[in-house]
Amino acid sequence: MAIKVYKRNTAGRRNMSIVKSDMLTDKKPEKSLLAKLTQKAGRSGGKISVRHQGGGHKQRYRLVDFLQNKFGVPGRVAAIERDPVRSAFIALINYVDGEKRYILATEGMRAGQEILTAENAPVKIGNRLKIKNIPSGTVVCNLELFPGKGGQVVRSAGGGALLTAVDEKMAQVKLASGEIRLVSSECYATVGQVSNFEHSSVTIGKAGRKRHMGVRPGVRGSAMNPVDHPHGGGEGRQGIGLKHPKTPWGKPALGKKTRKKKKYSNKFIIKRRQKRK
């Protein structure tokens, strides 16, 4: 895998880059696993309710299997593909019973590789098994938080959680944020790191490429008038003029705690994630 940086032929191409991965296979997506994806323009009743959304290239949704409940049925990786709606690559799996499914591709997965989902599957890249049967110190992804619910966390490109300790009933997992959390040892997890770890190193390069992704322009509040935004107004180049940043509707924008104090999952969190500096 490598980052390709374009030549500076034009202003838009200057510093623009893409991921060139040797994992990917040259294959069209599986038609039976595609679904219609309606375009969302951030509007309710014709009025903008979520700013900076709209437009973008037409996309088809890939039906990704996060549950992977084909227990004991071996499958072979037929192709590794890009997914327009997620940062990670996806893998097309052909199971021995003839069924085809998309799953999240792990780093190092290749076409032709065999994978297995089972309670006691071998601990190797791409296999999915119960946490109680995975050795401590293993990096896992597509992690269940509740048995039978399917992968809920560690699903984005380059994501990986470290299994620090495993007990009879519970296991300790260290997430990328630094949070250490208790998870039932009956939950399933995929061995390995999510593919496309260089996704965060890509430089978009020009505004038009962002528009293709369905992102519309955003204007700084300090560049507006006082009637349009709490940060607006002032002669020349002004700061926000307030103690804390706010949204256009006067709500706190940064640092405001939104988590409920009596949230049910508080008892599962051993160490909180570190505050971003």
Phi, psi (deg, nearest 5) at residue 58: -65, 135
pLDDT at position 275 over 80: no
User: Within 10 Å of residue 247's Cβ, how many Cβ atoms?
Assistant: 13
**pLDDT, tens only, 18-41:** 888 888 898 899 999 999 998 888
Q: Which two tokens stand for residue 13?
A: 């191409």
Supply 81's token pair.
Answer: 């593909």
For the chain, list the strands marked E by DSSP.
Answer: 2-5, 17-20, 34-36, 43-44, 47-48, 60-62, 75-81, 90-95, 100-104, 114-115, 128-130, 139-141, 161-166, 170-174, 180-184, 188-191, 269-271
For the chain, the first-to-last Cα distance in angstroms comes to: 31
Q: Which DSSP category does 30 fall into? A: P
pLDDT of residue 277: 65
Residue-level pLDDT at 156: 95
Domains of the chain: 1-21+198-217 (no CATH), 22-38+54-195 (2.30.30.30), 223-268 (4.10.950.10)
In the predicted structure, residue 14 carries a pLDDT above the cut 70: yes
Cβ distance 139 to 151 under 8 Å? no
In this predicted model, what pLDDT tens digit does every residue of 87-112 receive, in sequence order?
Answer: 999 999 999 999 999 999 999 899 99
* Measured distance CA(267)–CA(25) in Å, rounded: 44
Q: What percent of the chain has pLDDT over 70?
A: 99
Q: What pairing do the DSSP bridges indicate for beta strands 139-141 and 188-191?
A: antiparallel
pLDDT of residue 140: 96
Q: Which of 194, 3, 26 is nearest to 111 (CA)?
A: 26
For the chain, what is the mean pLDDT?
92
Is the pTM value of this prediction over 0.85?
yes
Q: pLDDT digits over 121-151, tens only?
A: 999 999 999 999 999 999 999 999 999 999 9
